Amino acid sequence: MKRKLGLMGMALALGMGAAHARECNGIPFPDRVQVGGAELALNGLGIRKATFFKVRVYVAALYVATPGNDPNTLIAAGTPVELTLHFVRNVSVDELTNAWKEGFSRNAGGRVPALSERIARLNSWMTSIKAGQHLTFIRRPGAGIEVDVNGTVRGTIEGDDFANAFLSIWLGAEPPNPELKSGLLGGACG
């Protein structure tokens, strides 16, 4: 009986370890997720660093249907994508909404006026986030971006144009920090 329990315990421990493919900044992430019947693979993990002092804000995980390291291909793929931001420090609602504004401005450029009402809706769904909480964004092709704030789905912001512009915040020409983009594209988490 002891041997059976020992084997069961070892199998359980091994199973628990296998449930997470990678970790970044001590935060484990599964190697696959299910989105609307589609299985997505972990493409990469990256750390958002802010200010001159490189303060760690969140660890981002990017899940895609077909992993790759070309950001334009990932944005334009027209397949489901999941982006999870696991916060490692407290962030106010003002800091979040300012980050969205800056991210869209830097990466969506001339498309911002056409997106402004939807950006305002995204901002209205935000709340202050504490360390350990998360935001999850799911691109649903033909529908837009589903917004989940710490386990509560707030809704979907319609439009593939919005979804692509939103993903460009992290994968576009001017991400929040280059190491974050590199990590999401399969590079070091760093």
User: In this structure, is residue 12 part of a structural domain?
Assistant: no
Which CATH number is 89's domain given? 3.50.70.10
Q: What is the dihedral of CA 134, 71, 73, 108, to 10 degrees?
A: 80
- DSSP secondary-structure letter at 150? T
**Helix, strand, coil: what percent of the chain each, to 5?**
40, 35, 30
The pLDDT > 70 percentage for the chain reads 89
pLDDT tens readout for residues 129-142: 999 999 999 999 99
User: In this structure, is residue 141 part of a structural domain?
Assistant: yes
Task: Please provide residue 183's backbone torsions phi and psi, each rounded to the nearest 5 degrees.
Answer: -65, -45
Structure tokens at 155: 């809704």
Stated length of the chain: 190
Nearest to 111 by CA among 166, 59, 149, 66: 166
- Does the pLDDT value for residue 21 go beyond 90? no
Per the model's pLDDT, the better-predicted residue between 171 and 1 turns out to be 171
* Calpha distance 149→138 (Å, rounded): 12
User: In this structure, is residue 92 part of a structural domain?
Assistant: yes
The total number of structural domains in the chain stands at 1
* Calpha distance 32→54 (Å, rounded): 29
User: In this structure, is residue 140 part of a structural domain?
Assistant: yes
pLDDT at residue number 139: 97
User: In this structure, is residue 15 part of a structural domain?
Assistant: no
- Does the pLDDT value for residue 16 go beyond 70? no
User: In this structure, is residue 71 part of a structural domain?
Assistant: yes
For the chain, helix (H) and strand (E) counts, in that order, are 6, 9
pLDDT at residue number 190: 76
pLDDT bin (cut points 50, 70, 90) of residue 3 is: very low
pLDDT at residue number 20: 55
Report the SS3 class of residue 63. Answer: strand
- Using an 8 Å Cβ cutoff, are 146 and 140 in contact? yes
Region 45-69 average pLDDT: 93
Region 116-145 average pLDDT: 97
**What is the residue range of 105's domain?**
21-184
* Calpha distance 163→40 (Å, rounded): 17
